[in-house]
Chain A
């Protein structure tokens, strides 16, 4: 295979990954890693480097729209980024000492968890009375809906902060945005309305991924020849996906992709146990 053929196939694959990632809400990075390792037999460390870049590009691209609409809670994002960035640096350091097969098994498990998270029931209600700590940290906010501005308060700041640290570690270790864990922290623990938690999670992914990306870059995990088709492809796919989302009802597609993701996850875990990474 020539470099040209490889780049074109990778570009198309990354485009599909970005499209699937955006339609399911899993993010492009999650689909890029199995694509690179299972299909192209690329070392998982290069795959992680490329996926981190895809996560930053995706997050920044999508966040730019949400922030302007005023849905994202910037203070909450900023506060929780202390947890995710510290976690991400820890994850990137742990990654050096973790065997690639273990990383693959862990990745498969997180993929299964993420697929389950995308199809579960979401918290739509705004909490009216939050905790004292949330008020002191100015984390309560409001966001625009079809029925006007909705105010919300939140609670369990400590629990949310802890889960966010774990999300950061996973993100730094596996090179993914770990949006599912971030939403778990904000949605389930802190009781933030779904729309705010997804957009704020997306907003945070860029900074979280950048914290470990600088470590991965210096370690040589980012190969320019893999990075360019992946970044351009995932961005293009995610862009098309966001356009499609407003026109079609993605529920059926989401279930279909989640089933596909489960098979991919099992394949990653199986190959990990067979020491194929």
Chain B
């Protein structure tokens, strides 16, 4: 009984360290991508007059879908690279949920496997649910 408790504690601790590392790596990776994209954008477009953001137009269809962002990234489009960094940033907390799910599965914590799956489902519905209107 006692050894099992110790073992469980270690797993909790391990997951905490992994989650911490994942969050840090995600944010650093996203910032680097955003920085590179921003730099290319400024080199190419920096001298142009600032566009008006006073009127809301919505982003051109190219950078609002996953396909659009990826093709923008592959063609080296500066805004596509920034938007890919944005995607990595948004994905970081989602990866954290998946990592927690793996952790709870290793600990055989059924209650929290279910709770984590519910949160994941909400994220999935939000992404694919067509709420963009």
Contact = CB atoms under 8 A, between A and B. Distances in A.
16 contacts: A2-B46, A3-B42, A3-B51, A7-B38, A41-B53, A57-B27, A72-B16, A74-B15, A78-B97, A78-B119, A82-B115, A93-B133, A213-B90, A215-B132, A228-B38, A235-B27
A211 B123 contact: yes
A266 interface: no
A261 B110 CA distance: 45
Given A41-B54, A70-B16, A81-B119, A56 B126 contact: no
B106 interface: no
Interface in B75-133: 78-80, 82-83, 85-87, 89-94, 96-97, 100, 109, 111-112, 115-116, 118-119, 122-123, 125-127, 129, 131-133
Name the 6 nearest CB pairs between A and B, nearest first.
A220-B58, A228-B38, A220-B59, A4-B46, A206-B93, A224-B82
B90 A56 contact: yes
A224 to B, nearest CB: 4
Nearest to A222: B86
Interface string B16-46: 1101110110110011001101100110011
A224 B54 contact: no
Contacts of A255: none
A70 B118 CA distance: 24
Contact of B34 (A45, A59, A231): A231
Interface stretch (A60-68, A183-191, A241-249): A60-68
Interface of B: 12-13, 15-17, 19-21, 23-24, 26-27, 30-31, 34-35, 37-38, 41-42, 45-51, 53-60, 63-65, 78-80, 82-83, 85-87, 89-94, 96-97, 100, 109, 111-112, 115-116, 118-119, 122-123, 125-127, 129, 131-133
A138 B89 CA distance: 30
B126 A67 contact: no
Contact of A214 (B16, B34, B49, B90): B90
Interface string A4-38: 11110000000000000000000000000000000
Interface in A82-121: 82, 85-86, 88-89, 92-93, 96
A260 to B, nearest CB: 24
Contacts of A125: none
Contact of B50 (A6, A63, A75): A6
Contacts of A259: none
Interface of A: 1-7, 40-43, 45-46, 53, 56-57, 59-61, 63-65, 67-68, 70, 72, 74-75, 78-79, 81-82, 85-86, 88-89, 92-93, 96, 137-138, 206-207, 209-215, 217-229, 231-232, 235
A85 B123 contact: yes
A57 B24 CA distance: 10
A210 B115 contact: no
B111 A232 contact: no
Nearest to B80: A224
B56 A43 contact: yes
Given A213-B90, A223-B53, A231-B86, 4 more contacts: A40-B53, A43-B56, A226-B53, A231-B30
A6 B48 CA distance: 11
